[in-house]
Amino acid sequence: MSPTAPEGKRTLRFREALREAMIEEMERDETVFLMGEEVGHYQGAYKVSEGMLEKFGDKRVIDTPISEGGFAGIGIGAAMVGLRPIIEFMTWNFSAVAFDQILNNAAKVRQMSGGQFKCPIVFRGPNASARQVGSQHSHAMEHFYATVPGLKVVAPAFPVDAKGLMKAAIRDDNPVCVMESETLYNIKGEVPENVDAMPLGVANVVKQGKDVTLVAYSRMTHIAIEAAAQLEKQGISAEIVDLRSLRPLDEGAIVKSVIKTHRCVVVHEGWPYGGVGAEIADRVQRLAFDHLDAPILRVSQLDVPMPYNAKLEQLVMPQASRVVKAVERVMARGRSQALERSS
């Protein structure tokens, strides 16, 4: 049973919002089905698909062997002949085994067939670090997939966005990767009854500010919110742009915010080299260079494989304290430049 907040406002956990989106779309469209490891009888590795086997039966909620390349390929074939599969990876780390299918088939079949085949498929599952799961299970995989033409990539931070973006992903005629932070499944948020599909490629300003723009997505949006609260105590007003979608990317929302604040710090969970932060920094410096009062800074994982040790893991991960320090740097640089211009 979904909890109810005061004044009748309904709240759901992140996993419940995802489940509700899938159920509603499967009820709306009989071509939609769910397939993956432990999605059925085990009720989902993270209980996202809990109750769905009982509701839809084993023809539409299909348990698979541990064979990501195999069932990803089956899903792509099903999408090409008119079905709308939802393929769950137990973790996006395991999608590396299916990378050939996603890269060379799902992302390319529509273009290579001259539009004769569509590929309306959703790849979804937990992404990025969890808690002490080791370096081989802690990859932020959105960087890899966002580079691929033909794929769309979304990374929601809140339950309401998880539901709206999942519905949009299922209805899209192109392959969509839904990156669900493994650490967000249990968070709660307000989700109105009538949430429908949200347009892909539209960011959300979750906090207004005037001094610096923090660009983030998924779990890093929560880190940015934590950092912004600490910055307020110093008299620094941070605006937070939650991307929600990485490809397509709402560069207009980012640029509009930077023009307003004149400073930008990008917070993302993956490695720094060639990551989402680098892409955003490039676009900001090209599209808003004359409005910048300081260099664009990035806060990311350290450039190392994820340690297993809990203290080292926290050291490697982006933390609010690192975001605060980055903002302090751009604020100091911006003030010194302003003084130079006025002298």
**What does R_g of the chain's alpha carbons equal in angstroms?**
20
pLDDT at position 338, please? 54
User: Which of 25, 68, 88, 239 does the annotation list as catalytic?
Assistant: 68
**Residue 181 and residue 46 in one domain:** yes
Q: How far apart are CA 104 and CA 139, in angstroms?
A: 21
140, 166, 190 — which closes off a domain? Answer: 190
pLDDT at position 336, please? 56
- Would 101 be classed as within a structural domain? yes
pLDDT at position 1, please? 35
The length of the chain is 343
- Would 198 be classed as within a structural domain? no
Torsion over CA of 59, 63, 67 and 73, rounded to 10 degrees? 30
**Residue 183 and residue 214 in one domain:** no
pLDDT at position 4, please? 39
**Residue 227 and residue 156 in one domain:** no
pLDDT at position 334, please? 55
Domain that holds residue 252: 204-342
**Residue 119 and residue 173 in one domain:** yes
Residue 249's φ and ψ, nearest 5 degrees, are -110, 130
CATH of the domain at 44: 3.40.50.970
Q: What is the mean pLDDT of each run of 10 residues along the chain (343 residues)?
A: 51 98 98 97 96 97 97 98 97 96 97 96 95 90 96 98 98 98 96 94 98 98 98 97 98 98 96 93 97 96 94 94 97 65 48
Q: DSSP of 303-325, one letter per residue? A: SSPPPSSHHHHHHHS--HHHHHH
Please indicate whether residue 68 is annotated as part of the active site.
yes
User: Which of 16, 137, 180, 268 does the annotation list as catalytic?
Assistant: 137
**Residue 178 and residue 235 in one domain:** no
Residue 54: helix, strand or coil by DSSP?
Answer: helix
pLDDT at position 228, please? 98
